[in-house]
Structure 1
Amino acid sequence: MSFNAAILGVGGVGQVCASEVVKKGYLNKLVLADISTLAAEKIVEKLREKTSASIEVCQVNACNKDSVASILKDIDVLIHAGIPEFNYTVMQACIDTKTHYIDMASDSPDDLLKQLDWGDRFKKAGVLGIMGLGCDPGFSNIAARYAADQLDTVKSITILDGDNSEVDYEGFCAFFSPQTAIQECLAKPNYWTAKDGLQYYPTPFANKDEFEFPEPIGWLDCYVVEHEEAATLGKTIGKGCEYVEFRYALHPDFVNTLKVLSYLGLDSKEPIKVGGVDVIPRDVVVTTMPKPAELAGKIHGYSCVGAYVKGTKGSQNEELFVYTLANHDEIYKKVGFQATVWQTGVPPVVAVDMIAEGLLNETGCIPPEMIDPAPFFERLKARGMEMFVMRKTSPIIKTA
């Protein structure tokens, strides 16, 4: 079997995707593409030691459809590991070249729904588009689907993302894309209800509450934050689901820094004049921050992402927490990456595995929870990323 893949965006997550996809014998060709090829050129020789597949490094501008399409003529699937604002351009290039498409995030929950509306275009091209398949969104959606499949009814779904790590870095940093971290944490937080659909709180950092994560993490303060899962899970899961939210455990220093950035207008994507030069404030902030890949080996602690699903099974109320847990130091020692980018980069490669094996052969656009959890988690475990389940039960008390 000849199977060719491309990765667009070779930052920390893209490097994880590349290091994982070369492990399988089905791969015939891999293209690594970015506006800057420095990172790809640094890792390409190590990758070639792990595979007999040919590997090419190409300079590509993700905001130019023709530039993206130029590398896709014989590619079966493209993983878009770049920033979400280029999703539509990359999607159109994949449609034009009849290439399967996977990304790891959308620019907003509303943008995710707009991407999914491209389903007919993907079907007409005979290809599959998977929107938001990283860790969260991505693993988190499939974890919610797995939990819901165990239940007769679903009352609520809360996606939880927590990390108890310390970082060997004096300054403001984010474990994943700094642009995305600033944007989603300062956006109006969204949630979903069966009655009113997708809703938004008026201000960021809404509804702080404590949640207990598996040991050794423990209790963390979690905020409702803008995220993609709530845009789709309620409708796709069904089973009477009434409420969906995403909660992110944020350190007080991180929250305070973001509030200051927002107060000063330094989170803006709109250009301003500085000394006669157009400058985008958020880009200035991001430039001062370390790239997530540069934090490998400097983060010490545990990262946990999962779906906390409440519902019923027979005569019992049930609460299921389906999650993945990773230690930053152990992941760095094992694969050379920090845990957050590793957890984000492995799931899309599992989808590539399933496409190559013929287990994902539909066309159109889907959110991650439409993927069958059983074969997905089986292949995820084979790549070293475990799924765990915590369960609580209590009798249903019927009132007169």
Structure 2
Amino acid sequence: MRAIVIGVGGVGQVVASELVKGNYLKKLVLADIFTDHANELAKEYQKKTNAEIIIKQVNASSLKEVESALQGVDVVIHSGLPDNNFTVMEACINTRTNYIDMAAASPEGLKEQLSWNDRFRQAGILGIMGLGCDPGFANIAARYGVDELDTVESISIRDGDNSKVDYDGFCAYFSPQTAIEECLAKPNYWTHKKGIQYYSTPFANKDEFEFPEPIGWMDCYNVEHEEPVTIGDTIGRQKGCKYVDFKYALHPDFVNTLQVLSYLGLDSREEINVKGSTVAPIDVVVKTMPKPADLAGKIHGYSAIGALVTGTKDGKKKELFIYTMANHDEVYQHSGFQATVWQTGVPPVAAVDMMAAGLLRETGCIPPELIEPAPILERIKARGMDWDIIEKTAPIYKAKNEELTNA
């Protein structure tokens, strides 16, 4: 298997560090617009593999540069900005290279990516859209839960983190630009009658959700995300699912900071002139924030991501929460990464494991929930990312006579 990682930031480093553990790896290309750090990483990774490791300077927004980098490669893991997804996808079609990314630029962007299904099939390649942790593991967890039930009422994706960070300023544990933009966008959700809908304002519909210990109860907000775009239609509707959403546990300070940024217009991509220089306000904000990779070893606490699937099994009400949990300090000790980027980087490598084993032969563009859950969950666990299930059951109260039925 010959692989290329485009975007060697925090998540890309996790992907590369996991790929070199695979005996099937013959060639690994580390591609980024800045190559200094990639060169350092290559020296470290070369000690762990007999595969050839190559560094290439690539601007992921340049179709020509990406196509050149993909020559002689079987699969690309795009861990750079979602803004460049379509450029990389176009290059994959032209070079007949399989494609995996970890996030879309927006719900509409994900729909557009999936609409390339026929083009990918004609090229004889597979594209997996949004295979990180959430989206990614969360979709697969939802599929696992749906498969376990006879009927499904709702699918709720939940992301909670109770950690503290040794940093005094504003920061995000994953791509700062993505974190700002998705949290300040109008949150989306899905219903069986109307499909994708949106709340009118960010940080909508706050409630408390009980994550497994030691995280416990946390305030969660509806946030724009990829999972509701697909899982209602792909795996939910066939079993009667009526509602799908995504909620993110956010600290009040984080919410307040984002609201101030929005109020001041500092989340805008529209370029402005500042003392003779043209800049986008959001780029200035992101530049002042630490890179997620630089927070490794500075975050202390737990991160949990999972899917709460409610429905029935054998005539009884059932709730399944299928989740993964990681301790930031423990992850740092065994991998050198903070838990959030590590949890995002492991699932796409598990998919590459399946490709190498001949277990992912499909062509076209698919969301993660269309991957058979058992084989990929097995490989995710084999790479150290454990997962578990919390189950609650209760009887369904059925009407016992016509009067109750008509009540």
Aligned to 1:398: 398
The separation in 1 between residues aligned to 2:189 and 2:335, in whole angstroms, is 35
Aligned match of 1:263: 263
Equivalent residues in 2 for 1:1-400, closer than 5 Å: 3-237=1-235, 238=237, 239-399=239-399, 400=404
Deviation at 1:41, TM superposition (A): 1.3
Misfit runs of 4+, over 6 Å: none
Q: Secondary structure at the match of 2:69?
A: coil
Task: Give, as a single letter, the amino acid of the residue that structure 2 aligns with 1:206.
Answer: A
Letter in 2 for 1:11: G
Whether the aligned pair in 2 keeps the contact of 1:78 and 1:101 (CA below 8 Å) is yes
User: Are the counterparts in 2 of residues 144 and 307 from structure 1 also a CA contact under 8 Å?
Assistant: yes
Amino acid at match of 1:254: F
Residue pair 1:19, 1:47 contacting (<8 A) in 2 also: yes
Give, in whole Å, the separation in 1 of the partners of 2:247 and 2:67: 37
Unaligned runs of 5+ in 1: none
Contact 1:166 1:301 in 2 (8 A): yes
Question: AA paired with 2:11?
Answer: V
CA distance in 1: counterparts of 2:47 and 2:280, whole angstroms: 41
Say how many residue pairs are matched: 398
Q: Deviations over 1:129-188 (max 9, x none)?
A: 000000000000000000000000111011000000000000000000000000000000
* In structure 2, C-alpha distance between the alignment counterparts of 1:328 and 1:274, rounded to whole Å: 39
1:67-101 alpha-carbon deviations (Å, 9 max, x no partner): 00101111000000001000000000000000000
Q: 1:306·1:321 contact (CA, 8 Å) conserved in 2?
A: yes
- Other structure's SS at 1:27 match: coil
Once residues 270 and 98 of structure 1 are traced to their aligned partners in structure 2, the CA distance between those partners, rounded to angstroms, is 35
The one-letter code of the counterpart of 1:382 is: A
Q: Deviations over 1:100-136 (max 9, x none)?
A: 0000000011110110000000000000000000000
**Separation of aligned partners in 2, 1:85 and 1:74:** 25
Cα offset, 1:39, TM superposition: 2.1
8 Å CA contact 1:205–1:225 kept in 2: the answer is: yes
Q: Distance between the aligned counterparts of 1:116 and 1:62, measured in 2?
A: 20
User: One-letter code of the match for 1:52?
Assistant: N
Counterpart Cα distance in 2 of 1:333 and 1:73: 36
| Deviation (angstroms), 1:356 | 1.1
Tell me, in whole angstroms, the C-alpha distance in 2 between the residues paired with 1:307 and 1:39: 36
After superposition, the C-alpha distances for 1:189-223 in whole angstroms (9 at most, x for unaligned) are 00000000000001000000000000000000000
Corresponding letter in the other structure for 1:8: I
Matches of 1:43 and 1:73, distance apart in 2: 22
Paired with 1:114 and 1:78, the residues of 2 have a C-alpha distance of 19
Amino acid at match of 2:233: K
- What is the TM-score normalised by the length of structure 2? 0.97
8 Å CA contact 1:176, 1:292 repeated in 2: yes
By how many angstroms is 1:275 displaced? 1.1
Distance 1:244 1:88 in 2: 26
Write the distance in 1 (CA, Å) between the matches of 2:196 and 2:383: 35
- 2:289 maps to a residue whose letter is M
1:11 touches 1:39 (CA, 8 Å); kept in 2? no
Instruction: Note the C-alpha offset of 1:384.
Output: 0.2
Whether the aligned pair in 2 keeps the contact of 1:189 and 1:225 (CA below 8 Å) is yes
Measured in 2, the distance between the counterparts of 1:353 and 1:180 equals: 27
Deviation at 1:44, TM superposition (A): 1.0
Q: Would you say the 8 A contact 1:320–1:392 is kept in 2? A: yes
Letter in 2 for 1:290: P
Among the aligned pairs, what percent are the same residue? 68
Q: Which runs of 5+ in 2 are unaligned?
A: none
Shift in Å, 1:358? 0.8
Per-residue displacement from partner, 1:247-277 (whole Å, max 9, x unpaired)? 0000000000000000000000110111122
User: Matched residues in 2 for 1:379 and 1:197: separation?
Assistant: 33
TM-score of the pair, normalised by structure 1: 0.99
CA–CA distance in 1 between the matches of 2:177 and 2:387?
A: 28
